[in-house]
Amino acid sequence: MRFLQGENIYLRPFRKDDFEMIFKSVQDKEIRRLTGTQTFFTMEKIEQAYESFALDKTRMDLVIVRNETDEAIGDLALMDIDLLNRNASVRIALNDEKHRGHGFGTEAMKLILEHGFHHLGLYRIGLNVYHYNARAKRSYEKLGFKQEGVIRGELFYEGEFHDNILMGVLADEFWEANEKWGAV
């Protein structure tokens, strides 16, 4: 089932066979670095987590799939959805280097932001990104995200401290960026 349709990718709900993709991605050294993941997960823990996520009304977890091949290439989540205050947070991961740098992540983010702002009526969506993930930061800025703060030295990874950059986008900033950049 295609939940949100884009030009090159679509977003769909998780299926049980997607757990293997998540398990492999959380073992990948580069994905662990980009996301700051330091915990190791078993397949059982991943299954339990995603089954729990499915019951959580404050989040929406989706798989990113290429239109051309129907290959699952990553996942994203709209989390901490607060309809009263009209805000949420988002996270994304592309699971293989061969899928990065082609605009798939930006397109997936655009789809979930459109859904959040247009269908859920959100006003603000936030995220965090580590300072060394410049490619992701550029993608987020293209979508209208602005740096809102820095938590200095929050992540101790591979023997060094790293800054966590807090970013957010308001609905009007997203629509303005969307008009400026057009289709991603």
Chain mean position to CA 37: 14
Q: pLDDT tens string for the chain (184 positions)?
A: 789 999 999 999 998 889 888 888 888 888 888 888 888 888 898 888 888 898 899 999 999 999 999 999 999 999 999 999 999 999 999 887 777 778 899 999 999 999 999 999 999 999 999 999 999 999 999 999 999 999 999 999 989 999 999 999 999 999 999 888 764 4
Query: In terms of C-beta density within 10 A (0-12 exposed, 13-18 middle, 19 or more buried), how is residue 121 classed?
Result: exposed
What does the angle CA 116 – CA 122 – CA 126 come to, to the nearest 5 degrees?
80
pTM: 0.91
To 10 degrees, the CA torsion angle through 26, 27, 31, 34? 80
CA nearest 173: which of 130, 144, 151?
Answer: 144
CA distances, 160 to each of 5, 38, 51, 118, 150 (Å)? 40, 13, 34, 40, 16
| Contact by Cβ (8 Å): 91, 109 | no
Residue 113 has what pLDDT?
A: 97
